[in-house]
Structure 1
Amino acid sequence: MISSVRGRVLTVGLDHVVVEVGGVGMLTHTTPAVATSVRTGQEAQLATSLVVREDSLTLYGFSTPAERDLFEQVQTVSGVGPRLALAMLAVHDPNALQGAIGSGDLVALTKIPGIGKKSAERIVLELRDKVGVPDGTGGASVTATSAPRGDVQVSEALVGLGWSVKQADDAVAKVTDAAPEVTEVAQLLRLALRELGR
């Protein structure tokens, strides 16, 4: 099992990074918040989870081991796979997700694409006593620096999470009109997800 990777960042996408480890580029799927916290050419260390399927080996990367553990824990619920688990951490930071599960906040959980009321109830039922209490320290260990406004990136991420192109573009337009001072991609994405959850 690959539990972490450390090396020079070769490329950064909105939902993945490629980290060079021993001369090999490791494609690591991440949340937008994690992707925006690393920089091409700089060294990064990510806690990772390797998902093994018959036809693929897929690596997922996180800022902290606790975030990785939460990603793996939510997958113990029937019907929650790695893609949905990653979407959960893209919509809510780890503390907010733990809080939503621990308090039975179905509204917060149903804001995640792919999770309806029944799925949210099942997640709360199966994990409420296992997730523990959020530690209040926040998710990412690296603070993301401001980047040029990434409206297109945010729209693409929303489409990847399950919304239509029109829904994604409309949400991004509303957020950019309401908060023109926000330029960080991860923050734009969170605001757009909040808008879509209304």
Structure 2
Amino acid sequence: MFEYIIGKVTYVCPAYLVLETNGVGYLIYSANPFRYSSKLNQEAKVYVHQAVREDAITLYGFKDFDEKQLYLKLLSVSGIGPKSGLAILANEDHTGLIQAIENEDTAFLTKFPGVGKKTAGQIVLDLKGKLGDLGIEEMGSYGREESQLSSDTHIKEAIEALEALGYGAREVKQVEKELKKNPKESTDAYLREALKWLMKK
């Protein structure tokens, strides 16, 4: 139904952002809502996918058209739901994801929460050779987030975002220790670092 929504970012939290347009605030789930932090109370364009179930109508947001198309292709795979699709997109190395699929690297794919060996194999089977038309770039933010929050608060928000994506308590505890070793300037930066570390471990 929707291709994108242009509006003012009025709220950002670990699982979603709120985009207000024409007096309506749209709750939009995102792989990394904190990349919109620098656009708080400013206008942003968010590409969206609307998922309709018997008990809910949900919006999922993406920074550009190609990121949305990658998400839709992931959803077409049996075993990949809206939440696990977001968790896969949260890793900003989308080129690495596509290369893993092309190289049938199921070990890489099983590092994502909710993706077991069977689902990883299905991703390769369904998507290999079908992602080359996407102009994928790294999942960027809208610029440096200016924040007066403490480093501990940024880490806490990043951890909450990981939990919202489906990462387990053991993984979260490990990555929290790593994040404390290297101070960052924003929640977005901490979350990006956490996702990179989780994919390398």
Q: Which has the higher contact order (CA 8 A, sep 6+)?
A: 2
Return the alpha-carbon distance in structure 1 between the equivalents of residues 35 and 141 of structure 2.
12
Q: 2:177 aligns with which of 166, 170, 173?
A: 173
- Whether 1:151 and 2:150 are equivalent positions in the alignment is no
Map of 1:192 onto structure 2: 194
- List runs of 5+ in structure 1 lacking aligned partners: none
Map of 1:47 onto structure 2: 47
Superposition misfits of 4+ residues, deviation over 4 angstroms: 133-136
Return the alpha-carbon distance in structure 2 between the equivalents of residues 171 and 14 of structure 1.
16
Bigger mean CA deviation after superposition, 140-149 or 51-60: 140-149
Superposed displacement of residue 56, structure 1: 0.9
CA RMSD in angstroms comes to 2.2
Map of 1:113 onto structure 2: 113
- List runs of 5+ in structure 2 lacking aligned partners: none
TM-score normalised over the length of structure 2? 0.85
The residue identity in structure 1 corresponding to 2:71 is F
Superposed displacement of residue 65, structure 1: 0.7
Identity %: 33
- Whether 1:127 and 2:127 are equivalent positions in the alignment is yes
Q: How many residues align?
A: 195
Return the alpha-carbon distance in structure 1 between the equivalents of residues 117 and 146 of structure 2.
35
Secondary structure of 1:145's counterpart equals coil
Q: Contact 2:77–2:122 at 8 Å: present in 1 too?
A: yes
Map of 1:12 onto structure 2: 12
Map of 1:183 onto structure 2: 185
TM-score normalised over the length of structure 1? 0.87
